[in-house]
Structure 1
Amino acid sequence: MSLLTHVLACLFGIGSWVAINGMWVELPLIVPKIPEGWYLPSYLTVIIQLANIGPLFITLMHRFRPGALDERPVIYTIVGLGVLATFLLAFLWKHTLFVGNAVHSVALLSLSFLLSVVDCTSSVTFLPFMMRLQPQYLTTYFIGEGLSGLIPALVALIQGVGVVQCKNATANANFSMVNYTGGTSGELEAHYQPANFSVQIFFLFLSTMMAVCLGAFVMLNYHPSVVQEHKCEKYLDDTKHQEKADISLTLQNHPAEQTPMLEHPEGPANEPRSTFGKGTYSRAEVVFIFVVLAWVNALTNAVLPSVQSYSCLPYGNQAYHLATTMAAVANPVACFIAMFFPIRSLMLMGVLTVTGTGFGAYIMGMAALSPCPLLVHHELGAALMVITWVIFVLTLSYVKVIIGVILRDEGHSALVWCGAVVQLGSMLGAMSMFPLVSVYGLFKSGHPCNTKCPK
């Protein structure tokens, strides 16, 4: 294994979602200065789902024209577009135009759509490209993908996004504001501290990260020591030939071969193999893997993030920041664990999925009870919420990596479908939560300084 290739694979993975993740963490500084206000998150949710036109096109190309599409030109295009879009955002994000009878942030919304296309399309192009490298580098890529959420969050913390000081609302009031006992009312107000550097600098940082991703991709293709580790062209040709063979078998409705599953001891001995990938897994197992993949990504990418503030803020601003930061750390940690313990057991996958879902249910329950969740007046409640978020992200991130490792062994086409199902699960999760959060307002936010709940 080459340390250089590991570093390049990690930097390449960071570029997968760093732009959109950066947009989300910067919202507290963007929202007060644009006409859309706090409707912007709702607009971004819709924009990201519309951007799935990119993955849809790539997936259909692989399905109906197997072997005809080379990922490398597509990756050069989308990463270059990401560099340009984030650079333009740094200078145009506050610019507005009249559309109809209202003022809108046309530049911000348009460039956000381009970034969404870039990041969504990375799911169905970056993973298949990793087939050109040795298997051990796929886990390193997933570590980079996890860091694509952690790095913008850490930079936003350094920037001072969302840092709150709770001050007595009556501290500077005149005597008419003093109550009859001679003291003040004790009401606290949240005062958000000014940022340490501007939104423009943050977007320039994101543009730099995308440029680093582009540079890493160039080196993965052309650096001599990395090229030596590429799989031979014959292997890639065999992979494309296998994809075409799979399509022809499906069209001709050939029955699956009845053979013992010696390579996969978890399945029954006489269970028929599927025509998916190398045929290692049965049809039921393939369906199980993809259902778990869609479910896990729906929870981690859409459902629970949409209620994170509702679940954490009632316990205080410190608990909220700890939960978001530690959860972001848990993602690459899970990928790092999977590098040394890549357990491919479908039984373990199911157990971890159920475990992570259980912790996710606790988070959803506390969000539903906001602004008065359980143990809201106790430090134990805040500690439980932080720990729950960490375990939730840790377990389900490990599941995602293991599924990626499994599908990587099944070939190029399997990784394309892996990316497509990731986007499908995320889209279904976002579509299910959008009306609950943004339309019907079923969740009520807690106050970072004043939590008025019965003890």
Structure 2
Amino acid sequence: MFCSKSVLCDALTALLVVTFGTSTWVSLGGLWVELPLLTNLGIPEGYRIGSYLIIATQAAAIGPLIFVTCQCLAPKNYHLEIPTIYATLAVGATASFLLIFFWDYFSFWSGDEHSIAFLILAFFMALVDSTSNLTFMPFISSLKSKYLNWYFIGEGLSSVIPSFVVLIQGTGGEDECVANHTFINITVDPNTNVTICQNCTVWAIERNGDALFPPQSYFIFIFVVLTLSTTSFCLLRRIPFFRDQYDEAEQYENSDETPGNVYESWCSCCNCCTRRRDNDEITPLLSSYNTFEENKTQDKRKATVHSNCEDNLKFNEETCMGTEKDQNDNSKMANIVASDISIEKEDVKGNSRPSKSSFSAGHAFLFTTLTLISALTYGVLPSIQGYSSAAYGSNIYLLATTFAEISVPIGFSL
């Protein structure tokens, strides 16, 4: 019975983690893949909508800047990741809900017609994606390490699911020139006084099909995904059934059985900034996902050193308690412990290595390369995608945007 309950709890936790992970890029990626249809429906910006959307999404980078600033100004024993997740998911869900009704509301600005409402709501939806890199991983790291892969699966689905939905939706077909009216135009040349008869045709641009469902229905789908992600996060935080799925530091929150690890309000929204009751330093919530194996190795090494200390203490207490020899042995034991701990700072050849790496020219080259790649991937190339793809037709434009989103999780998995 206990085994079946544990398996059920693990399965539900994995499902909630995947659902929570889908909110990382579903809002911004969902807007990008919908641009071909919006362009065909006559959005005022036309093929320039990609450039405007880039400006709105890059402006959303102020979200991580505000979060980092508040985290630096907050006391050391406070962590703002959890309330920030609540706030960003609520803002993203609200913006996607309003987009259902205001995506086609246009306004005049600087003498031209612009989709101001769409761009403003896109800015708030992009806040979820921009801040997720700083806030989602600390929360996932508080869970057991086996759920990290499930989170990455959900993060990959955040780009794949909207792309497949847009492929099913379609763009409404290609534009065709259709003869609307044919007439004979008779003119007289004033110089030669000759009558000229011409057959003239008035052409009209018509679309040979319609999308399977309108943009309103698609934005309803985005709203449902963000709502499910928000609900999953609330369940993981507030339901005691998932309490055992956290690491030891989180499992015994609000429990008096574990001294030194007592936290306040495991399920309280008012105290979602994690805080300790005592004056000890809190265990940092922010931890990188690629340091799990290193932490396990350090724990084993510390356990070995601790066991050696206990054995030496026991031997000294039984044989030389109360003598000068006991003091000397204790001092030797302290030296042994210090030498064992210093092994962490020595490499295989026995040469000491610094605990902190210094900034070098290699680091500058890597950061410069990363900056250029990020600028091309998230700034330059998406802004000109409409001009480069739409020349071959709306269907090619659709395929280019959707497969570009699908390739992102595939590239990261490789």
TM-score, structure 1 normalization: 0.55
Letter in 2 for 1:54: G
Letter in 2 for 1:94: D
- Answering whether residue 91 of structure 2 is matched by residue 81 of structure 1, we say yes
Other-structure match for 1:215: 231
1:374-385 equivalences in 2 (<5 Å):
none
- Answering whether residue 17 of structure 2 is matched by residue 9 of structure 1, we say yes
Query: Quick check: 2:14–2:147 contact (8 Å CA) kept in 1?
Result: yes
Other-structure match for 1:272: 354
Letter in 2 for 1:81: V
Alignment deviations for residues 408-437 of structure 1 (CA, whole Å, 9 cap, x no partner): xxxxxxxxxxxxxxxxxxxxxxxxxxxxxx
SS in 1 for 2:113: strand
Letter in 1 for 2:227: A
Other-structure match for 2:256: none
CA drift of 1:138 comes to: 2.4
Identity between Structure 1 and Structure 2 (%): 36
CA drift of 1:3 comes to: 2.4
CA drift of 1:398 comes to: 3.8
Picking from 136, 152, 155, the partner of 2:162 is 152
1:80-119 equivalences in 2 (<5 Å):
80-99=90-109, 101-119=111-129
Mapped to 2, the partners of 1:297 and 1:140 lie a distance apart of 26
Picking from 36, 48, 55, the partner of 1:39 is 48
SS in 2 for 1:124: helix
Tell me which protein shows more strand as a share of its residues.
2
- RCO (CA 8 Å, sep 6+): is it higher in 1 or 2? 2
Mapped to 2, the partners of 1:241 and 1:124 lie a distance apart of 9
CA drift of 1:40 comes to: 2.0
Alignment deviations for residues 48-97 of structure 1 (CA, whole Å, 9 cap, x no partner): 11111111011123334344342222211221121111111111111223
Distance 1:68 1:264, change over 3 A: farther
Q: How many residues align?
A: 301
Mapped to 2, the partners of 1:197 and 1:264 lie a distance apart of 62
Mapped to 2, the partners of 1:105 and 1:262 lie a distance apart of 58
Letter in 1 for 2:284: T
Other-structure match for 1:55: 64
CA drift of 1:116 comes to: 1.8
Mapped to 2, the partners of 1:27 and 1:241 lie a distance apart of 36
Mapped to 1, the partners of 2:17 and 2:399 lie a distance apart of 29
1:284-433 equivalences in 2 (<5 Å):
297-298=374-375, 300-306=377-383, 325-332=402-409, 334=410, 394=411, 397-398=412-413
SS in 2 for 1:33: coil
CA RMSD of aligned residues (A): 4.1
Query: Quick check: 1:36–1:105 contact (8 Å CA) kept in 2?
Result: yes
**Which structure would you say has the larger Rg?**
2
CA drift of 1:302 comes to: 4.0
Mapped to 1, the partners of 2:25 and 2:92 lie a distance apart of 10
Picking from 225, 235, 238, the partner of 2:283 is 238
Mapped to 1, the partners of 2:110 and 2:373 lie a distance apart of 41
Other-structure match for 1:68: 78
Distance 1:88 1:309, change over 3 A: closer
Alignment deviations for residues 301-349 of structure 1 (CA, whole Å, 9 cap, x no partner): 44554565677778888777666555544444x4xxxxxxxxxxxxxxx
Letter in 2 for 1:22: G
Distance 1:268 1:126, change over 3 A: farther
1:185-224 equivalences in 2 (<5 Å):
193-224=209-240
Distance 1:317 1:34, change over 3 A: closer
Query: Quick check: 1:71–1:125 contact (8 Å CA) kept in 2?
Result: yes
SS in 2 for 1:103: strand
- Answering whether residue 243 of structure 2 is matched by residue 227 of structure 1, we say yes
Gaps of at least 5 residues in structure 2 are 1-6, 183-204, 251-260, 263-273, 275-281, 289-340
- Answering whether residue 31 of structure 2 is matched by residue 23 of structure 1, we say yes
Query: Quick check: 1:86–1:206 contact (8 Å CA) kept in 2?
Result: yes
Mapped to 2, the partners of 1:197 and 1:310 lie a distance apart of 25
Mapped to 2, the partners of 1:264 and 1:315 lie a distance apart of 58
Gaps of at least 5 residues in structure 1 are 175-188, 244-257, 275-280, 335-393, 400-455
Alignment deviations for residues 376-406 of structure 1 (CA, whole Å, 9 cap, x no partner): xxxxxxxxxxxxxxxxxx2xx148xxxxxxx
Mapped to 1, the partners of 2:60 and 2:130 lie a distance apart of 7
SS in 1 for 2:284: helix
Query: Quick check: 1:259–1:270 contact (8 Å CA) kept in 2?
Result: no
Mapped to 2, the partners of 1:315 and 1:122 lie a distance apart of 35
Mapped to 1, the partners of 2:225 and 2:105 lie a distance apart of 24
Letter in 1 for 2:30: G
SS in 2 for 1:77: helix
Alignment deviations for residues 223-278 of structure 1 (CA, whole Å, 9 cap, x no partner): 334221112244982226999xxxxxxxxxxxxxx96667998x99533122xxxx
Distance 1:109 1:304, change over 3 A: closer
Distance 1:299 1:146, change over 3 A: farther
